[in-house]
Amino acid sequence: MGGWPELRYFYYAWALSSLKFSEYFEDLTLFTDKEGKYILVDQLKLPYTKVFVELDQLNTYSPKLWAIGKLYTYSRQTTPFIHADGDFIPFRKFSKQFLQGNLLVQSKESGLDKFYLPILNSVKSSFRDIPEEIKNPVTKEAESANLGIVGGHNIDFFRNYSRKAFDFIDKNADRLDAIQVGEFNCIAEQYLFYQMAMKRNLDVKFLLPLVSPSFAELIRFHMIPNLSSYIHIIGSYKQDTMVLRSLERTLRRFYPTIYDRINSLMGFSSDASTLDFSKERYLETIRKKSIHTLRFRLSRKYDIQFKQSHSNTVILRYTDKQTNITQEITMQKIHRDILEFNKERSKSLSQILDFVASKYMMRSNRIKMGESILSFLLNQWYNRDILEISIR
């Protein structure tokens, strides 16, 4: 199920992705197999303008090679294009400047040595006929690109790149059992793409220039649409209950008919009650230029206590004063301190930043630190309800 705990979440993400892209692009093309066409087009009736049922011919490849369909799709393009993963969801148009790029991708990947280096070492020790770009990278060895979205105008590059990727896979098909095939997909697709582009001194445009190794910036449903514009439910975030809840709520809010179709197809009975989307509507009113007017205070609905967990973490226990229901979450000490700082009186983001910088002697980029702390605050308000928001 591609890392999802239930198949319905796979379809929630795929549907929301395609429906949002259809708002920004007139042409929406699907490359799929017979089963995909039956479900996505015939049953769910997603808004594709063209459908190519061609991926069944790839069934001879290991099902663990999830990137093989993407590589095939890249090879079939003859005009400028954008390819999007089914778990990449846009909430804003791409800029014209970005769309004019010869090569464009979601983001650069760096600081992921613990992921890339082990699989690279396995490939180099187990495979034969390894592309020169992988054997001798021209950048830092663990530097790559995330192809949550990928495309551009340089069709010749994509033709050569996809051919080289298929040759790489085909020549080592009998050696896949010697490596972690899941991780290898990122080598054959993302790493090879980036190293080929860098070796040829080609310009690569990044939709999101700065993304942390945790990819936390890509799952901020609690900041869309104005403070965060793109969602990519990558890796372990597919198992995150808050992310799954936000995904389901977003699809149900904007496309209730499709939401119901998926649940019917999956035999899932959703809660028939009317959901309260007041927080989502409030988020739509927040602009970057108005952040300074927001005030945060620890919620008065709960009795809140903290207790030490490990050296760098604490457990927050909050009990609803009316229902007497208690919940617990583990958080970093810095987040505990931020919440306690907002316990008696509401504080602005600027005041919170000053407090954190002073207490922790931080000299990091104030804008970047502000984005991270604002995300934490809005997350506690949106998902946990343990903060209150007011406007000065």
- Residue 378 sits in a domain whose CATH number is 3.90.930
Mean pLDDT of 240-269: 96
DSSP-derived secondary structure letter, 222: G
Q: Which domain holds residue 362?
A: 286-392
Give a yes or no: residue 258 inside a domain. Answer: no
Query: Tokens in use for 106?
Result: 């979601």
What average pLDDT does the structure give for the chain? Answer: 94
Q: Is the pLDDT of residue 353 over 80?
A: yes
Give a yes or no: residue 340 inside a domain. Answer: yes
Q: In the listed set 208, 238, 259, which residue is the last one of a domain according to the structure?
A: 208
Q: Are residues 300 and 390 in the same domain?
A: yes
Q: In the listed set 155, 175, 208, which residue is the last one of a domain according to the structure?
A: 208
Residue 269: in which H helix or E strand, if any? none
Structurally, the chain folds into a number of domains equal to: 2
Give a yes or no: residue 112 inside a domain. Answer: yes
How is the chain split among helix, strand and coil, in percent rounded to 5?
A: 50, 20, 30
Give a yes or no: residue 43 inside a domain. Answer: no
Mean pLDDT of 354-371: 83
Q: In the listed set 208, 239, 256, which residue is the last one of a domain according to the structure?
A: 208
Q: Where are the beta strands (DSSP E) in 118-176?
A: 144-152
Q: Is the pLDDT of residue 101 over 70?
A: yes
Give a yes or no: residue 306 inside a domain. Answer: yes
Do the Cβ atoms of 20 and 247 come closer than 8 Å?
no
* C-alpha closest to that of 147 among 187, 91, 174: 187
Q: Are residues 67 and 202 in the same domain?
A: yes
Give a yes or no: residue 27 inside a domain. Answer: no
Tell me the C-alpha distance between 153 and 99, whole Å. Answer: 9
DSSP-derived secondary structure letter, 291: G
For the stretch 281-300, pLDDT in tens is: 999 999 988 898 999 999 99
Give a yes or no: residue 222 inside a domain. Answer: no
Q: Are residues 195 and 301 in the same domain?
A: no
What string of DSSP letters covers 85-96?
-TTEEESSPPPH
Mean pLDDT of 192-201: 98
Q: Are residues 305 and 172 in the same domain?
A: no
What string of DSSP letters covers 306-358?
EEEEETTEEEEEEEETTT--EEEEEEEHHHHHHHHHTSSS-EEHHHHHHHHHH
Give a yes or no: residue 129 inside a domain. Answer: yes
